[in-house]
Chains A and B, each alone.
Chain A
Amino acid sequence: MISSRLRAWRHLGPASSLRTWRHLGQRIGASAQAPAAAGALRGRRPSPIGGLAAAAIAVTLATLAIYPLRHIAPVVALGVVYLPAVLLIATYWGLWLGVLTALVSGVAFNFFHLPPTGDLQLADRRNWVSLAAFLIVALAVGTIAELARSRALEAESRRAEADLSAALAGELLRSEDTERALATTARRVADGLGLRSAALELGAAAAGPDRLALPLRDADGHQIATLLVSREIPADTEERLRARVIPTLEALVAIAQRRDTLQAEAVETALLRRSDDIKTAVLRAVSHDLRTPLTSVVAAGHALGTNSLSDAEREELSAVVVEEATRLAELVDKLLDLSRLQAGGAAPRTDWVSVEDLLAAASDGLRGPGPPVRLLVDPGVPEFRADAAQLERALANLLENARRYGGEKPITVQARRAGDRLVITVVDQGPGIDAAELERIFEPFYRGRSSASAPWTGSGLGLAIARGFIEANGGTITVDSLPGRGTSFIISLPVEGQPALPVSR
């Protein structure tokens, strides 16, 4: 419907430059012209049939209006009554209909009002003047209106173009990934130009029997992308596409691609830096934490080989070997756990797990002397699906940590159900952790500042491993600490609905 109206207007329209924008016409809104002219200045030109009818009515009304006025003013002066009609028609329906109205007004004035009335003879030269005035007014007003209309159209099309550019820039530059933004960008182009479809592909793409491939090139002339549109687009749309849209797209895609490259480089740099940090930490751990017990073992081994040993000395040295080597073994186990977690190789082997079993196994595994561990399990805690061995290691690491940093006071482990989560808290009554340190304690190789003075502390891996295994089982671990009062680690694990089994008393 719109296109047929546009075609009609094209036949009538004088300004070929306007034709270029006719597809844009649909999108153009009101201009900043006077309200009366606003309708006329819309891209959708009023129908010429309506114009003819309006002209006829206006001229008739003017002609009729002059009759009563003839008693007040000289007839010749009353020609001005036609001017509003000419003005109106020229403004709304353009130059040619305005001129036509002027001519018809002249003829009507001559025929009905200028003596001799009833024929078209012009007896008086003044009558020629009024006819000429009508024509000049019609031409002038029509031309000005046309000019205004074309200016408005141009302004609107510029605005539409700027809108399109802004939209394209938004799509391409705001998105994280250029590749994914291409589809929406292409849709914007299609919407903006009234195309049925358009596609945008990175690199070169082949034209098809029904699609046109328009290359997008960067500043060096390398093809960076291809805009694919239907071959059936009108020649002037294609021209506009090539002249206005493609240069914008070329610049935007080039920027977006460069941004992608920079972003990828930044991520890579960050990863490298992080892996560098880890390597440094591992190296430090290996050089100190592995070498210290090794040195003790080697020294004790040499000492055991000497001749002048008392039984007590021999026992002592043998204990050193066992102790130090055990510490070494624990560290190696932790390094292995951590590397498994970091390599993503810790897929849980899930089975039904009872929290009592888990806590019992974790506290059974504690080595050496230390403060007692109290286990409190709410009777309503259900079984849940998880990897028992992984969670045991997570809890064992937490208990070990609590015993190491919790002073000599007892440690309490409590398990309860909270909705669809199982919450296990490990609470010590030690000196607590500074707020500034809380963020970092889960980092591998990070050791609490309070532990710096201790001769042998942990590997700095326990909490990282605990968090790794808990998260691998769909859980979370958080820490809460009151300096001077103690520290709580809060583990939350998902529990599925489970038929309750009887609890015997």
Chain B
Amino acid sequence: MSSAPRPRVLVCDDEHQILRGLRVILRDAGYEAVPASTGEEALDLAAVRTPDAGIIDLVLPDMDGIEVCRRLREWTDMPLILLSAVGDEDAKVRALAAGADDYVTKPFGPRELIARLQANLRRTEPEPEQSVIVTGELEINLASHVVRLAGAEVHLTPIEFNLLAVLARNRGRLMTHRDLLVGVWGHGHGEDTQVLRVHIANLRRKIEPPESAGGRRYIRTDPGVGYRFAA
């Protein structure tokens, strides 16, 4: 038994096989699963066991996962990850609007799920501010505003730099269009997604030359939802 308390993760799915699998996967990654098979049970357990994060299936027998997110969000800001299926684009968008932080498409690999969980837990327990973020060949110096790609300095406009900085600080986490617009331009610019896409495209041209396509990418697109920085 480890001495430090393991972070607790509420897992809500009506499929017992999935709960069983997730319990093992979470235990293996150093978390403790708090399983619930209905929305009501999840809401109760969230209050009693005070988990650090939640993984919630979109389809539950008594209410939908979006409703669970909405009701949890009324009193807790723990990271919430939704399990969705391919083709549920509408539900994804509604879940994010209802307060979910991220989603994972079923079937998911344990590594992907754990990476999302860790990235989102970082939000509530921020790491000490790093002044330099290094990923692959990309080096971002948040203090001096210098970005290097394979050692060569890349010239970014202030907006492009801020965009990259917001993405990199939240690496691995889904940043919705709105998150990025508010983070870079401030409140009141939450709807102008077209401007965002143009700046992302320009940023990509500078840090991700075409030759890198298909290989490692720094900025990933979640179509219709947002972007995330490669973890």
Contact = CB atoms under 8 A, between A and B. Distances in A.
Interface in A285-334: 322, 325-326, 329, 333
B124 interface: no
Given A333-B86, A360-B220, A389-B89, A504 B107 contact: no
A354 B177 CA distance: 13
A329 B198 CA distance: 35
B225 to A, nearest CB: 9
Interface stretch (B3-11, B50-58, B126-134, B206-214): B206-214
Given A325-B107, A336-B86, A504-B160, A352 B193 contact: yes
A322 B202 contact: no
A428 interface: no
Nearest to A355: B201
Given A354-B201, A372-B215, 10 more contacts: A326-B107, A329-B107, A349-B89, A354-B197, A360-B213, A363-B213, A364-B221, A377-B210, A393-B86, A503-B202
A65 B81 CA distance: 122
B218 to A, nearest CB: 10
A501 interface: yes
Contacts of B160: 504
A63 to B, nearest CB: 103
Contact of B157 (A351, A353, A411, A504): A504
A357 B200 contact: yes
A388 B213 contact: no
Nearest to A334: B86
Interface in B164-204: 193-195, 197-198, 200-202, 204
Nearest to A498: B194
B137 interface: no
A374 B222 CA distance: 20
Contacts of B157: 504
5 contacts: A359-B213, A363-B217, A364-B217, A364-B220, A389-B223
A11 to B, nearest CB: 83
Interface string A386-417: 01110111000000000000000001000000
Nearest to B227: A357
A383 interface: yes
Contact of A383 (B197, B204, B210, B215): B197
A462 to B, nearest CB: 14
A461 B106 CA distance: 20
A358 B223 contact: yes
A372 B216 CA distance: 11
Nearest to A356: B201
B162 to A, nearest CB: 13
A340 B87 CA distance: 10
A65 B116 CA distance: 124
Interface residues of B, number: 31
B210 A356 contact: no
Nearest to A410: B214
Instruction: Specify the main secondary structure of chain B where it touches its partner.
Output: mixed
B197 A374 contact: no
A202 interface: no
A374 B210 contact: yes
B221 A360 contact: yes
B224 A351 contact: yes
Contact of B194 (A352, A363, A373): A352
Contacts of B109: 322
A435 interface: no
Nearest to A358: B223
A337 interface: yes
A374 B87 CA distance: 27
Contact of B214 (A372, A389, A503): A372
A501 B194 contact: yes
B25 to A, nearest CB: 12
B125 interface: no
B195 A501 contact: yes
Nearest to A499: B194
Contacts of B223: 353, 357-358, 361, 388-389, 391-392
Given A361-B223, A389-B223, A392-B223, A354 B214 contact: no
B194 A383 contact: yes
A382 to B, nearest CB: 10
A223 to B, nearest CB: 53
A375 interface: yes
B213 A361 contact: no
Nearest to A379: B205
A357 B214 CA distance: 13
Nearest to A370: B214
A392 B224 CA distance: 10
A366 interface: yes
A270 interface: no
A388 B224 contact: yes
A373 B107 contact: no
Given A337-B87, A366-B214, A383-B194, A361 B221 contact: yes
A376 interface: yes
